[in-house]
Copies of this chain bind each other. A is one copy, B any other.
Amino acid sequence: MVNVSVIGATGYAGAELMRLLLGHKRVRIVHAVSKSFAGAGLSSVYKNFACDILLKAMEPEDVCEGSDIVFTCLPHGKSAEIVPGLLKRGVRVIDLSADFRYKDANVYKEWYKLEHPAKELLSQSVFGLPEIYRERIKSARLVGNPGCYTSSAILALYPLLKAGAVEPAGIIVDAKSGASGAGRSESTKLSFCEVNESVKAYGIATHRHTSEIEQEISLAAGVNIAISFTPHLLPINRGIISTIYLTPKTDEEGIKKAYEIYSGEPFIKIFEEGVPEIKHVTGGNTCAIGFVLDKRVNRLVVISCLDNLIKGASGCAVQNLNLLCGFDEREGLNDTGWYF
């Protein structure tokens, strides 16, 4: 059993994390911190919950009391302010914000327009994608849980670039996400009638996840890579589908071979034929990947799907928790989604 606390338990990622942790047989939840709903029960804020957990406003240091591991689900910038204090008190931290995903504080500053509040921690934080950094995560004190678009793109691209199966230049990621990716919000732009029966592109050429993807695939390729990344807002609750356009350097067999790096991965599903749809992954912690090689125009089209709240956020965080604790990596997580 491990004692965990969650700071920011009532945002969408935080609430989904609570749901997963409550179903995890080896987890005891010590504190659930929420400024906005302090004093209320979690089940009165999100009435899907059957549990009896009280939300509290607490000082970060008090959260450490009795906790082995603390999840921080705060906006970027806010996490980096409190994480140093948490670490000092000896807990290990899995941070779901963008603050500890970067190797280079300058890249963070460039994309987030913010001086990083805890630069000195970047050298010890581990990028929390188990499929790439499993061993380092196991012994990490601080995990920077990756972004949702990010995981979808990196998991599809990493094996190809690692194997030299595609050109590193000219990569395009056309990604589409369900509205929960925008988090709990009062913005009119996210009101039902604005989102429903429509789709829009946003953050073209400027979305912050671009930089995370570039960092990781550059490391895989061993060269600096800059990509085109276009996110779109979908009228669905959950799920991301990324359509990725690449210039292949090998044939179908070569592509399949590159993806064999994932053999044995509990939460990666490579389609032998055809490509995945969002509904193949909703509700589970799986990232499903398929591809089509379009020889006519010498283009490789890769489709990568995951549930943005699970594999793209809270499920991945639980997977990291399992690694930190030496649990079975699948504990508390489904590989089978709910189809509808």
Q: Which residues of B contact A184 (CB under 8 A)?
A: 188, 191, 193
Of A180, A199, A200, the most chain B CB neighbours within 10 A belong to: A199
CB contact between A46 and one of B180, B275, B276, B339 (< 8 Å): that residue: B339
For chain A residues 16-32, which have a beta carbon within 8 Å of chain B?
16, 19, 22-23
Contacts of A276 in B (CB 8 A): 47, 200
Chain A positions 295 through 337: 1 when the CB is less than 8 Å from some CB of chain B, otherwise 0 = 0110101010000000000000000000000000000001111
For A43-84 the 0/1 string (1 means CB < 8 A from B) is: 000111111000000000000000000000000000000000
Does the CB pair B197–A48 fall under 8 Å? no
- Complex CA gap A286/B50 in Å reads 9
A139 within 8 Å of B (CB atoms)? no
Interface size on A, residues (CB 8 A): 80
Task: For the complex formed, measure the closest distance between the CB of A237 and the CB atoms of chain B, giving whole angstroms.
Answer: 4
Partner of A228, one of B179, B204, B297: B297
A263 in contact (CB, < 8 A): no
CB-nearest residue of chain B to A234: B199
Tell me, rounded to whole Å, the shortest Cβ–Cβ distance linking A73 to chain B: 15
Among A192, A196, A226, A280, find the residue whose CB has the most chain B CB atoms closer than 10 A.
A192
Number of copies: 4
Tell me if A243 counts as interface (CB < 8 A to partner B).
yes
**Contact present for A50 and B228 (CB under 8 Å):** no
Given the known interface contacts A179-B193, A228-B299, A239-B197, the answer about A48 and B245 at a Cβ–Cβ threshold of 8 Å is: no
Query: Could you say which residues of chain B place their CB within 8 Å of the CB of A277?
Result: 47, 198-200
Residues of B near A176 (CB, < 8 A) are 176, 199, 232
**Is A235 interfacial (CB-CB < 8 Å)?**
yes
* A223 in the interface (beta carbon within 8 A): no
Asked if residues B191 and A301 are in contact (CB atoms below 8 Å), the reply is: no
Q: Is A107 an interface residue (CB 8 A)?
A: no
Contact of A198 among B170, B236, B275, B334 (CB under 8 A): B236
User: Which of A49, A241, A339 has the largest count of B CB atoms less than 10 A from its CB?
Assistant: A339
**Residue ID in chain B nearest A181 by CB atoms:** B193
Nearest B residue to A272, CB-CB:
B44
A138 to chain B, nearest CB (A): 24
Interface status of A284 (Cβ within 8 A of chain B): yes
Q: Are B180 and A340 in contact (CB under 8 A)?
A: yes
Is B275 within 8 A of A340, CB to CB?
A: no
Across the interface, which residues of B come within 8 angstroms of A12, CB to CB? 193
Residue A118 at the B interface, CB < 8 A? no
Please state if B180 and A301 are interface contacts (CB–CB under 8 Å): no
Query: Does A269 belong to the interface (CB within 8 Å)?
Result: yes
**Which residues of A are at the interface with B, using a C-beta cutoff of 8 A?**
12, 15-16, 19, 22-23, 46-51, 170, 172, 174, 176, 178-180, 184-188, 190-201, 204-205, 226-228, 230, 232, 234-239, 241, 243, 245, 269, 275-284, 286, 288, 292-294, 296-297, 299, 301, 303, 334-340
